[in-house]
């Protein structure tokens, strides 16, 4: 729920923030959120224009070890030295870290996001001259040329330039400094300066003091005479410019920044970092969610950069670069030859500029001209700017989209394999009012014969928004309620938000306070903000002890009334603070270790979901897989559950944008994504609701949800016709659950997205690059939901030269590539199966996914142009870690060629017993055989019944009745 949504119901009407929020009720109040110009560091960074970099690499300081290269960079303007570390990583990745050589105090480095210390490759120097060093990066014929002055780095594969760093000279690193013009600062400045001198006595590295830099540099290097001379020059300049001086220091906003009624004290002053990257030959860039924008990123020239700052944006607007609830600082660059990625590991407020020279102005220098003979090579430049921390960036070198997914997954992990039920349909609303309401809605699904798996309880279920409790009047018997659902093999999700009511009668609050687990204000007291419960504290989820405690609260003994079939929803975890700056936490609030909220902001939600998911695992003794939905997220959040696109609205454009929003997340590791079906705010007209169910049924996370002020919208409230349409959409989802589950398993194993932009499978087809009204599920299904009001048809682009696609409803065969016009009615959900694929379905749809668990399968074999097809199926118990810990799973492979369909194991490490069998095989694009035979090991060949429709070339083979885990073959003769 968005901050201001139900304020009328809260007794806070007198608060100033309320007036602000209510001023605009129909769309986002943009004035609540900063533009780049209003964010002092973004403005300072952006004021630095492309040109010659003031940085110079001190070649004489270069140190090469087994796995890294270290070199100092000096800013010629202020003489502050930086240390650059470069690593070649296994799997075609390069990591660049830039920090101050001698920061006044440590700068924040993001922990816990990487799943391991990335394994390195051996670097070697392969060339050197007065102004550059050439390094071999160990793998994939990749080389890096570091130019000393002006500092830049160019990454090559063979002789081809792939990516440049700081080629536009936009490396900006605001070093920590003492504030001038204040008595106490002067004193501490003197202390620091003395301390520095003492350190310098022992340090072999060039110290920060300009006066002694010449000595230091000479000492640390082979001291070629020219370097010595340069150092001397610098010293002279340095004496004129006192330590730490820079033009940024005097700028307003450097040491204190006011936005609306909030003042951000900046005890550390300006600390931002920025760097630019150039992609020669690239015109398509993607990623850096979360924004309500197109899939393909647009240039930001003349507007604001894309902003990454987790925020609770009330009624967000579409098609703009404003920040939303989550941030994944990963950008993909793509052209027909290769895909590249940049992972900017920084959790502070970040802005990303995208510029392009496609107009013909090449910003690139003579390197490109030399390598590629000049000319009008298209190029995209991106510039990253973060408020604090260090520069820690991973260059993912591909070259294919799948290589990028694997590379990124090796750094931050893959999508957690959800429990099967989580892929089914979820019914939510703010709020299901009481136990009776829950029971009525639950029964409604049975009466109207619509499957569903999970019913959700929003904030009103808790006792006065005290999470981990139940409202004693509305939910007096939660266990009975949960048992009732369990009897129907259904689940429940309750909301647990990270704002904790400040109330001395609330156990959770008291425990957090007594353990000193709350985030602190800059003055050291517990930070308090307004949120749903009124005054609330915010547990410090960056503290591992706090997280362990939080996890333990999900134990059945701690969370009273909870049961095995109760799962969790973490909302408002940006964190949302109604009366905070930009509706979030003050940047000068303090976390464990003394870090400012500024440093960790975009990580907060990541940690909330992590601790919650771990709590669910823990309560089951480590056996059961968790399900946690989160609104806020960061790189790596895929390891902990699902995300949704937050508080959207019942508008056609919101339905439409759910596709690029989830595709953008899928590209950066987060596959388990969905949007509130029906739209959160406002009341959808029936047509929109139906279309939303149809689209949602083919998106990874499928949940209907609605704001408290909307009229009820359970699927049976819109007349028989609409109910039937919704039922059909939901049933299509349930039939495809085996396929979804297999896709998620694949994603868990490989990092490949479940929902994919077309260009991921057709990287050379430029027609696909900007398509975001249709997408692929795995590589087998192409979905083009109807997202326009009153639509009579859709234009579906079917990719793949020489390929064929089959309409899954009519089985019509279509040749690709083509743009196919499909006439639609209200029942149409345009979905196509790729020729050459095999998809498993369960077509006896029941009350819930669990009820269908042992049901038989139907295999849909869609023959490709060569008359072949393959597909896979993953089966396990659907809810435990046994597939991982005990090898209890089936990973089956189906393959059709030479008129024979064969079932075999795709992975002999797994084994699993299931009674489920195959009841039907449907072969699309098949001629009529004379006979069909089934062959199993040690069993006599048997004839199978079949029917053949000549008009559509569909062969249906009935009752092979083989176990899904068995090896067999079916031949057409």
Ligand X SMILES: *[C@@H]1O[C@H](CO)[C@@H](O)[C@H](O)[C@H]1NC(C)=O
Q: What are 229-236's contacts with CB under 8 Å, separation 24+?
A: 234/74, 234/76, 234/79, 234/210, 235/210, 235/211
**54: contact with ligand X by CB under 6 A:** no
CA angle 317, 322, 326 (to 5 degrees): 100
Which helix (H) or strand (E) element contains residue 226?
Answer: helix 225-240
Q: Total binding residues for ligand X by CB under 6 A?
A: 8
Distance, CA of 356 to CA of 362 (rounded, Å): 9
Handedness of CA 533, 536, 542, 545 (dihedral sign): negative
**How is 88-108 classified by DSSP, letter by letter?**
EETTTEEEEEEEESS-SSPPP
- Output 122 or 958, the one with its CB closest to ligand X: 122
Are 287 and 297 in contact by the 8 Å Cβ rule? The answer is yes
> d(Cα 508, Cα 530) in Å, to the nearest integer?
17
Which of residues 122 and 128 has its CB atom nearest to ligand X in the complex? 122
Q: Which is nearer to ligand X, 412 or 837 (CB)?
A: 412
By CB under 6 A, is residue 157 in contact with ligand X? yes
Q: Which is nearer to ligand X, 91 or 867 (CB)?
A: 91
Which of 13-21, 133-141, 464-472, 574-582 is the region at the interface with ligand X (rule: CB under 6 A)?
A: 133-141
Token pair listed for 298: 């647009």
Instruction: For 96-133, give one letter per residue: b (16+ CB within 10 A) or e.
Output: bbbbbbbbbeebbebeebbeeebebbebeeeeeeeebb
- Report in angstroms how near the CB of residue 409 gets to ligand X at its nearest: 12
Q: Which residues pair with 870 in a beta bridge?
A: 837, 895
Rounded Cα distance, 239 and 210, in Å: 7
Residue whose structure tokens are 């392969």: 126
Of 573-612, binders to ligand X (CB under 6 A) are none
What HEC string does 527-565 produce?
Answer: CEEEECCEEEECECCCCHHHHHHHHHCCCCCCCCCCCCC
* Shortest Cβ 411–ligand X spacing (Å): 13
CA torsion sign, 50 to 51 to 56 to 57? positive
For residue 482, give the nearest of 470, 497, 465, 467 by alpha carbon: 470
Is residue 140 at the binding interface for ligand X, with CB under 6 A as the rule?
yes
Report, in Å, the least distance between residue 342 CB and ligand X: 16
* 706-745 residues near ligand X, rule: CB under 6 A: none
What is the closest distance, in whole angstroms, from the C-beta atom of residue 764 to ligand X in the complex? 16
- Applying CB under 6 A, which part among 138-146, 201-209, 296-304, 704-712 lies near ligand X? 138-146
* Closer Cβ to ligand X, 157 or 209, answer by number: 157
Does 763 engage in binding with ligand X (CB under 6 A)?
Answer: no
Using the rule CB under 6 A, is 91 a contact of ligand X?
yes
Active site residue 571: yes
Of 234, 314, 970, 884, the closest CA to residue 646 belongs to 314
Q: How far is the CB of 120 from ligand X (least distance, A)?
A: 14
Partners of 142 in beta bridges: 157
Give the three-state DSSP class for 921. strand
Q: First vs last Cα of the chain: how many Å apart? A: 60
Q: What's the alpha-carbon Rg for the chain, to the nearest Å?
A: 29
Which residue sits closest to ligand X, CB atoms considered?
Answer: 140
CB of residue 747 to ligand X, shortest distance in Å? 18
- Candidates 136-144, 275-283, 805-813, 936-944; binding stretch for ligand X (CB under 6 A): 136-144
Residue 118 contacts ligand X per CB under 6 A: no
Task: Write down the least CB distance from residue 125 to ligand X, Å.
Answer: 21
Nearest to 880 by CA among 413, 418, 414, 415: 418
**And the tokens for 381?**
């430049």
Q: Give the C-alpha separation, 569 to 735, whole Å.
A: 26
Tokens of 870: 């393959």
Nearer to ligand X, 646 or 753 (CB): 753
Tell me the two tokens of residue 329: 């600082």
- The residue within the footprint of ligand X, chosen from 53, 92, 300, 356 (CB under 6 A), is 92
Active-site pick, 571, 676, 807, 876: 571
How many contiguous H segments (helices) and E segments (strands) does the chain have?
19, 50
Instruction: Say what the alpha-carbon torsion angle 506, 509, 515, 518 is, to the nearest 10 degrees.
Output: -170
Q: CB of 399: closest distance to ligand X in angstroms?
A: 4
The active-site residue out of 312, 353, 503, 647 is: 647
Region binding ligand X by CB under 6 A among candidate stretches 11-19, 137-145, 613-621, 958-966: 137-145
Question: Whole-number minimum distance, CB 406 to ligand X, in Å?
Answer: 7
> In the complex with ligand X, which residue's Cβ is closer, 157 or 574?
157
Name which of 399 and 865 has its Cβ closer to ligand X: 399
- Contact set for ligand X, span 192-231 (CB under 6 A): none
Q: What is the smallest separation between the CB atom of 741 and ligand X, expressed in angstroms?
A: 27
672-711: contacts with ligand X (CB under 6 A): none
Stretch touching ligand X by CB under 6 A, among 32-40, 134-142, 576-584, 699-707: 134-142
463 classed as catalytic = no
Query: Which residues lie closer than 8 Å to 563 by C-beta, 6 or more apart?
Result: 479, 482, 483, 486, 556
| Residue 410 or 637 with smaller CB distance to ligand X | 410
DSSP 876: S
Q: Of 35-43, 139-147, 763-771, 915-923, which part binds ligand X (CB under 6 A)?
A: 139-147
Q: Which is nearer to ligand X, 401 or 910 (CB)?
A: 401
Residues 868-887 vs ligand X: string with x where CB under 6 A? Answer: --------------------
Nearer to ligand X, 123 or 657 (CB): 123
Q: Which of 856, 844, 776 is nearest to 816 (CA)?
A: 776
Shortest Cβ 885–ligand X spacing (Å): 28
Minimum distance between the CB of residue 752 and ligand X, rounded to whole angstroms?
Answer: 13
Our CB check for ligand X shows the closer of 92 and 350 to be: 92
Residue 441 contacts residue 455 (beta carbons within 8 Å): yes
Write each residue from 773 to 812 as x if it is in contact with ligand X (CB under 6 A), else as -, in one continuous string.
----------------------------------------
**For the window 399-438, what string marks contact with ligand X as x by the rule CB under 6 A?**
x---x-----------------------------------
User: Least distance from C-beta 91 to ligand X, angstroms?
Assistant: 4
Q: Tell me the DSSP string of 272-337.
A: -EEEEEEEET--EEEE----SS-SBPPP-TTSPPEEE-----TTPPSSS----S----EEEEE-SS
CB atoms within 10 A of CB 922: 18
Whether 591 and 542 have beta carbons less than 8 Å apart is answered as yes
HSE at residue 128, side-chain half, CA atoms within 13 A, is: 6
Nearer to ligand X, 235 or 406 (CB): 406
Looking at the annotation, which residues are catalytic?
571, 647
List residues binding ligand X (CB under 6 A): 91-92, 139-141, 157, 399, 403
């Amino acid at each position: 729920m968005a901050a201001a949504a139900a304020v009328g119901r809260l007794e806070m009407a007198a608060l100033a923030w309320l007036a602000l929020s209510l001023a605009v009720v129909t769309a986002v109040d943009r004035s609540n959120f900063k533009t780049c110009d209003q964010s002092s560091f973004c403005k300072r960074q952006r004021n630095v224009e492309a040109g010659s970099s003031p940085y110079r690499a001190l070649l004489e300081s270069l140190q090469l070890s087994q796995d890294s290269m270290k070199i100092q960079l000096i800013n010629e303007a202020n003489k502050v030295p930086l240390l650059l570390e470069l690593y070649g990583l296994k799997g075609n990745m390069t990591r660049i870290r830039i920090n101050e050589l001698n920061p006044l105090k440590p700068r924040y480095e993001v922990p816990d996001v990487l799943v391991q210390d990335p394994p390195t490759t051996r670097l070697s120097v392969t060339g050197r001259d007065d102004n550059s060093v050439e390094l071999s990066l160990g793998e994939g014929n990749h080389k890096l040329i570091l130019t000393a002055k002006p500092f830049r780095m160019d990454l090559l594969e063979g002789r081809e330039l792939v990516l440049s760093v700081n080629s536009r000279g936009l490396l900006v690193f605001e070093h920590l400094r003492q504030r001038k013009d204040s008595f106490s600062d002067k004193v501490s400045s003197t202390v620091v300066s003395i301390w520095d001198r003492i350190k310098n006595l022992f340090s072999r590295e060039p110290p920060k003091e300009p006066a002694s830099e010449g000595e230091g540099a000479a000492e640390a290097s082979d001291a070629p005479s020219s370097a010595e001379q340069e150092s001397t020059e610098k010293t002279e300049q340095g004496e004129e410019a006192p330590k730490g001086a820079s033009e940024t220091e005097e700028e307003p906003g450097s040491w204190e920044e006011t936005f609306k009624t909030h003042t951000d004290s900046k005890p550390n002053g300006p600390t931002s970092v920025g760097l630019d990257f150039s992609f020669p030959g690239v015109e398509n860039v993607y990623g850096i969610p979360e924004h309500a924008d197109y899939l393909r990123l647009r240039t930001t020239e003349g507007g604001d950069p894309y902003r990454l700052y987790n925020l609770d944006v009330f009624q967000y607007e579409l098609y703009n670069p404003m920040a939303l609830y989550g941030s994944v600082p990963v950008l993909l660059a793509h052209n027909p030859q290769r895909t590249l990625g940049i992972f900017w590991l920084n959790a502070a407020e970040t802005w990303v500029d995208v510029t392009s020279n496609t107009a013909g102005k090449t910003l690139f220098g003579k390197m490109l001209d030399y390598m590629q003979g000049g000319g009008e090579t298209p190029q995209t430049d991106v510039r990253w700017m973060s408020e604090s921390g260090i520069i820690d960036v991973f260059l993912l070198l591909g070259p294919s989209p799948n290589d990028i997914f694997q590379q990124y997954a090796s750094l931050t992990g893959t999508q957690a394999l959800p429990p099967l039920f989580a892929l089914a349909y979820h019914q939510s609303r703010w709020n299901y009012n009481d136990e009776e309401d829950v029971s009525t809605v639950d029964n409604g699904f049975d009466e109207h014969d619509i499957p569903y798996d999970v019913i959700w309880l929003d904030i009103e279920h808790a006792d006065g928004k005290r999470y981990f409790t139940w409202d004693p009047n509305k939910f007096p018997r939660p266990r009975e309620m949960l048992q009732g659902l369990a009897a129907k093999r259904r689940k429940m999700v309750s909301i647990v938000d990270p704002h904790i009511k400040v109330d001395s009668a609330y156990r959770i609050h008291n425990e957090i306070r007594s353990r000193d687990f709350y985030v602190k204000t800059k003055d050291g007291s517990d930070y308090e903000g307004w949120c749903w419960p009124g005054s609330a504290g915010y547990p410090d989820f960056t503290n591992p002890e706090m997280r362990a405690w939080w996890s333990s609260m999900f134990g059945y003994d701690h969370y009273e009334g909870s049961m095995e079939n109760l799962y969790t929803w973490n909302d408002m975890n940006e964190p949302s603070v109604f009366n905070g700056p930009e509706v979030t936490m003050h940047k000068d609030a303090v976390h464990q270790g003394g870090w400012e909220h500024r440093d960790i902001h975009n990580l907060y939600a990541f940690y909330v979901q992590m601790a919650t998911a771990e709590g669910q695992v823990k309560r089951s003794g480590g056996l059961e897989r968790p399900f946690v939905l989160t609104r806020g997220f960061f790189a790596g959040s895929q390891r902990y559950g699902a995300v949704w696109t937050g508080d959207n609205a019942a508008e056609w454009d919101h339905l439409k944008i759910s596709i690029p929003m989830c595709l953008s997340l899928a590209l950066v590791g987060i596959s388990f994504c969905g949007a509130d079906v029906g739209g959160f705010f406002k009341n959808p007209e029936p047509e929109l609701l139906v279309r939303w169910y149809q689209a949602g049924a083919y998106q990874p996370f499928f949940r209907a949800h609605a704001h408290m002020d909307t009229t009820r919208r359970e699927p049976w409230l819109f007349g028989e016709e609409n109910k039937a349409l919704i039922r059909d959409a939901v049933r299509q989802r349930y039939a495809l659950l085996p396929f979804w589950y297999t896709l998620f398993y694949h994603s868990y194993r490989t990092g490949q997205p479940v929902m994919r932009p077309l260009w991921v499978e057709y990287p050379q087809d430029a027609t696909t690059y900007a398509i975001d009204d249709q997408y692929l599920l795995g590589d087998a299904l192409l979905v083009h939901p109807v997202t326009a009001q009153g639509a009579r048809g859709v234009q579906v682009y079917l990719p793949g030269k020489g390929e064929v696609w089959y309409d899954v409803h009519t089985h019509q065969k279509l040749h690709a590539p083509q743009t196919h016009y499909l006439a639609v009615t209200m029942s149409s959900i345009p979905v196509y199966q790729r020729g050459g694929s095999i998809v498993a379905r369960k077509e006896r749809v029941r009350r819930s996914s669990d009820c269908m668990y042992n049901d038989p399968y139907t295999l849909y074999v869609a023959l490709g142009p060569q008359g072949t097809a393959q597909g896979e199926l993953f089966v396990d118990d659907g809810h435990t870690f046994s597939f991982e810990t005990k090898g209890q799973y089936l990973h089956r492979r189906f393959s059709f060629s030479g008129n024979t369909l064969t079932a075999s194991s795709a992975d002999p490490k797994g084994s699993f017993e299931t009674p489920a069998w195959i009841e039907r095989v449907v072969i699309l694009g098949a001629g009529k055989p004379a006979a069909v035979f089934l062959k199993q090991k040690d069993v006599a060949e048997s004839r199978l019944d079949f029917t053949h429709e000549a008009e559509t070339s569909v062969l249906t083979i009935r009752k092979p009745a083989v176990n899904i885990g068995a090896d067999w073959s079916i031949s057409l003769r």
